[in-house]
Structure 1
Amino acid sequence: MNDKQQPKSPKDSHYARLRRQHRDLKAGDAGPQPYRAARPAIEGSAAPEGLVRLYGLHTVRAALDNPERRIRRMMVTKNALARLEIAESHSLPFPVEIVEPKAIDKETGSEAVHQGVMIEAEPLRSKKLADLKESSLLLVLDQVTDPHNVGAILRSAVAFDAGALITTARHSPQESGVLAKAASGALEVIPHIEVRNLADALGELHALGFTTIGLDSEGPVEMEGALAGERIALVLGAEGKGLRQKTRETVTTLARLDMPGAIKSLNVSNAAAISLYAVQRYLAAKG
């Protein structure tokens, strides 16, 4: 039985079909093709010391627009250069190499969805808690380690106009292509603050006038009942273990998201989005 005659299963996704069609077209025959073993993935190389590799059209466009981002090098295809709306590559203040997609694969690895563009840049500088005097909404992550989740959380934080994302210096993902791609440009927009001791940082936030609300599936009050004050910092823990005990003891209050369905917990990035929405509506109502 050939590839296109196999019965479709729930796992036979849209993207899997597109990949098979792409293989067929490359073979020069739009008709059914015999089974071919998948090509081995290309492993990427390490970024130069002190630099990070960022890729994808939205990610790179946001980096180009960020005056605080120091870009050292770009690899880009002609098509991606046009989609980035860059008329002439020599107009950019750093070296630009016009390449084929395979050349970028060798740098990022073939599993990275780079969309024909990659940059090497210096990591963004972390802000300080003292810089948050004008913010009314913050998001704090207690050892959330998955870069995909943190990237998705960054997008939600920007969408709901949070003033900063605060993470722990240890047990949190470093700036990377994976995180930046998941954030889809948000990494360049929202300040990121790394703290060594989260309990001490929460104490500083209290001194700055923030109510800190820790999200916990068994929190004693609903999220709506925990909202108080003019400035709020939401604190979310890692999936599985949740907030650490010291964090639970330090926040102003623990709150839960009540859900009427059979599933009573959410992915941390989904929980962050719902909580940010609730807090933003509360703050907007207070005017």
Structure 2
Amino acid sequence: MEDIIAGRNQVREALRAGRDLHKILMAERLEGEIIGEILSLARTCGVPVQRVDRNVLDKMVGERHQGVVALAAAKGYVEVEDLLALAQKKGEAPFLIMLDQVTDPHNLGAVLRSAEAAGAHGVIIPRRRAAGLTAAVARTAAGALEYLAVARVANLAQTIVKLKDSGLWAIGAEGDGEKLAFASDLTVPLVLVFGSEGRGLSPLVRKRCDFTIRLPMRGKVNSLNIAAAAAVLMYEVVRQRYCGSL
């Protein structure tokens, strides 16, 4: 479950300590020295701040919040280097998943569950404009968060460049991708990059990918939900790497 941190000093100290915070809820028109420090620390740490009515905070924690409540991640994040180290420890070619501004917690949770089941070495998400590891995500992941490492980064495009420098291929998934997924070599060290619901890959992230792949669509709809598409593509990686010619 999410850890709720209430109170100005408590939230400030959590930010100072580098605690993984999903977001900060702050009462409207709240000002002051400590509030200014919280806002500055939140900007530095990449933690979004949402202004809300005090009644929202009252319902969450009673009247002990002093106008400030922080929601901590349901699980701590790791560094991207930790994901690569895990692949090396297992003696496997890196298999990472990157999510570009996926905002729906149920989609994120479903992707995390599929990633763990498919044996991915970890998932990378952005700090801003995306769902984090909230209680709702943990519930949808149905236990997968206990076994799957998740890294959160400030800049996805720069992270892709670093991964490519480490020998990984960056392969984007799009409805009109350049290559058919089933005709592409997914046995190489790779990071599969999936775009947000509706908008797909952001232009700069798409530009950093080596190429994009697509799934063949035989029906009337022209694309799958991100959670469904991610599951299919992750298991294509499993098929190519571990199932031989079956």
TM category, shorter? 0.5 to 0.7
> Are the equivalent residues in 1 in contact too, given 2:187–2:237 (CA < 8 A)?
no
- Equivalence for 2:85: 133
Structure 1 residue 259, shift from structure 2 partner: 1.7
2: distance between equivalents of 1:145 and 1:176? 12
Code of the residue aligned with 1:133 in structure 2: it is A
Out of 124, 131, 134, the position equivalent to 2:75 is 124
Residue identity opposite 2:123 in structure 1: L
Alignment of 1:159 with 2:117, yes or no, is: yes
1:84-110 deviation digits (Å, cap 9, x = unpaired): xxxxxxxxxxxxxxxxxxxxxx879xx
Q: Where in structure 2 are there 5+ consecutive unaligned residues?
A: 12-58, 62-70, 88-93
CA–CA separation in structure 2 for the residues paired with 1:107 and 1:160: 37
Which string of whole-angstrom CA distances, capped at 9 and with x for unpartnered residues, describes residues 193-214 of structure 1?
0111111101111122211110
- TM-score, normalised to structure 2, is 0.66
CA contact (8 A) 1:123 1:175 kept: yes
- 2:116 and 2:86 map into 1 onto residues whose CA distance is 16
Q: Distance in 2 between matches of 1:280 and 1:227?
A: 12
For the Cα contact (< 8 Å) 1:154–1:183, is it kept in 2? yes
Letter matched to residue 127 of structure 2: A
- Report the counterpart of residue 258 of structure 1 in structure 2: 216
Distance in 2 (alpha carbons) for counterparts of 1:140 and 1:177: 20
> In structure 2, how many angstroms separate the alpha carbons of the residues matched to 1:174 and 1:147?
8
| Cα distance per residue 1:183-226 (max 9 Å; x no partner) | 11112210010111111101111122211110011111101233
The equivalent of 2:64 in structure 1 is none
Counterpart in the other structure of 1:48: 5
Alignment TM-score, normalising by the size of structure 1: 0.57
Indicate conservation of the 8 Å contact 1:206/1:212, yes or no: yes
Separation (CA, whole Å) in 1 of partners of 2:60 and 2:143? 21
Q: What is the CA deviation profile of residues 132-169 of structure 1, one whole-angstrom value per residue up to 9, with x for unaligned ones?
A: 13422111000001101001111101110111010001
Q: Secondary structure at the match of 2:194?
A: strand
RMSD of aligned C-alpha atoms? 2.7
Conservation of the 8 A alpha-carbon contact between 1:157 and 1:273: yes
> Deviation digits for residues 218-255 of structure 1, max 9, x if unmatched?
11110123324531211000111100011111011111
Aligned to 1:202: 160
**Matched-pair contact (CA < 8 Å) for 1:199–1:250:** yes
Q: Is the 8 A contact 1:226 1:253 kept in 2?
A: no
- For residues 57-82 of structure 1, the C-alpha deviation after alignment (integer angstroms, 9 at most, x for no partner) is xxxxxxxxxxxxxxxxxxxxxxxxxx
The structure 2 residue matched to 1:169, chosen from 127, 134, 145, is 127
Residues 143/121 of structure 1: CA separation in 2 closer, same or farther (3 Å cut): closer
SS of aligned partner of 1:261: coil
**SS in structure 2 at match of 1:133:** helix
Structure with max Cα Rg: 1
Which SS does the other structure have where 2:157 is aligned?
helix
The answer to whether the 8 Å contact 2:4/2:72 transfers is no
